[in-house]
Amino acid sequence: MTESNRIEYKQQLTDDLEKEVVAFLNYPEGGLLYIGIDKGGHVAGVSDADGLQLKIKDRLKNNILPSCLGLFDIILEERNEKNVIKIIVASGPEKPYHLRKYGMSEKGTFIRMGSASEPMPAKLIEKLFAKRTRHSLGRIRSPRQDLKFEQLKIYYQESGKTLNQQFSANLGLRTEDKQYNYFGYLMADENAVSIKVAKYKGKNRVDLVENNEYGYCSLIKATNRVLDKIELENRTASRITSKKRIDTRLWNPVALREAIINSIVHTDFTREIPPKFEIFSDRIEITSAGGLPEDLSHEEFFAGFSVPRNQEIMRIFKDLELVEHLGSGVPRILESYDESCFHFSDNFLRMSFPIAEIEGEENGGQDGGQTGGQTGGSIGGSIGGQTGGQTGGQTGGQIQRLTERQQEIFDLIHRNPHITRKQISYKLGIAESAIQKHLNSLISQKIIKRVGTYKGYWKILKTNL
């Protein structure tokens, strides 16, 4: 890759880091800044990568206004066996962004022009300031000021992080006049926000068979409860062929998780309309309030350009590893579902994912019973559930057994494919080295596999355990 309107290279960390980030924040598509690559695209690498990442985060946090926390992501990559730092910068919702030192002036405000960051003309500064979002979650005063955040503290502790006494200010839970804002209200232990998960018998909304509400608590807790509920609904369908058993989830679990998180992070909560999840006999629909962010086209949306509607929520979701990194959600979804599954309107975005088609599902039980008896398969015809399936299950041999500890680890991964070894260690109360041995065993048995390295995720290869 060469430098462009969205890509900037730095051989080392320089004094103009903030200038480049400000330019990308003000650019409609955001951008990528690499440190450790020279202008010719040659990898030079960086030393003390961990210290450098902390220094970058501190500089961006303190030297740019409005706050850009939640609008950038710092990732360590390895290229040619050398460490390179990649900074993903989203287009900000509160343009114009500027250097704190010089204020909102041509000297402190920049925009990306080709492969360079140029001073922003005064007229454009005035135009953008006039359009600035004045009703963000951080600016709206909470309807309650007696807020408590014990649930939020617990989730941070489980992620290996600790909130200090200044956490409400550091996380942006207060307005400029020190009052709790609406974002703080969403993260508090008690609020009036509830997310609905409905289930219908047929293909329309006529016959409601189940209606669950997850909320009136921290948005983080509500999100995890929604994830757990829909994970239970995303059952495994199977069919048996003459050679093997084929397991298929109703929906791709990675894409489904990304869609759920995406809908919550990007919902326009200022309208007091939470996202909605509806399960039908042939599909699942996920609806969030708010159309595409201003200045973001459909093409840019599907290309993964990120314009976080709620940068405060994005920041906490990243802290708790519910979000991998900026702009990763939609491309992950598109690996399993095409663009026709997305439906846009001026006020809403709806994702509709069809249930996976299972060939021979209706006769799965009968075929499974025959195959189970002939080949020693362990689960005959679990889909059909008829006599043949039961017989196949009884006579088809033994299901592979895990140790109690391996089963606990598998269950945690099944519920959260993004869970880390450190988080598993914390939840089970055993050393990371012991966790790694169990993970290695599960990998060698081809039960799970690791996709990606830094901030990757676990892929389930076998579910019939």
Helix (H) or strand (E) holding 242: none
**In which band, very low, low, confident or very high, does the pLDDT at 440 lie, cut at 50, 70 and 90?**
confident
Any bridge partners for residue 62, and if so which? none
The whole-number pLDDT of residue 244 equals 64
The residue-averaged pLDDT of 430-453 equals 83
- Overall CATH class of domain 136-233+251-355: alpha beta
The whole-number pLDDT of residue 54 equals 94
CA distance 266 to 181: 18
Q: Where in the chain is the domain with CATH 3.30.565.60?
A: 136-233+251-355
The residue-averaged pLDDT of 254-279 equals 92
The residue-averaged pLDDT of 429-433 equals 76
> If you average pLDDT over each of 66-70, 375-379, 381-385, 388-392, which comes out highest?
66-70
The whole-number pLDDT of residue 395 equals 36
- pLDDT per residue as tens digits for the range 384-405: 333 344 433 333 333 457 887 8
- Overall CATH class of domain 404-460: mainly alpha
pLDDT surpasses 70 at 151: yes
Place of tokens 């210290």: 51
pLDDT surpasses 50 at 246: yes
The whole-number pLDDT of residue 223 equals 95
pLDDT surpasses 50 at 380: no
What homologous superfamily is domain 7-131 in, according to CATH?
Schlafen, AAA domain (3.30.950.30)
Q: On the CB side of 464, how many CA atoms lie within 13 Å of its CA? A: 18
| Relative orientation angle of helices 364-375 and 387-395, to the nearest 10 degrees | 20
The whole-number pLDDT of residue 367 equals 42
Q: Where in the chain is the domain with CATH 1.10.10.10?
A: 404-460
Beta strands in 120-257 (DSSP E): 194-200, 208-215, 236-240, 245-249
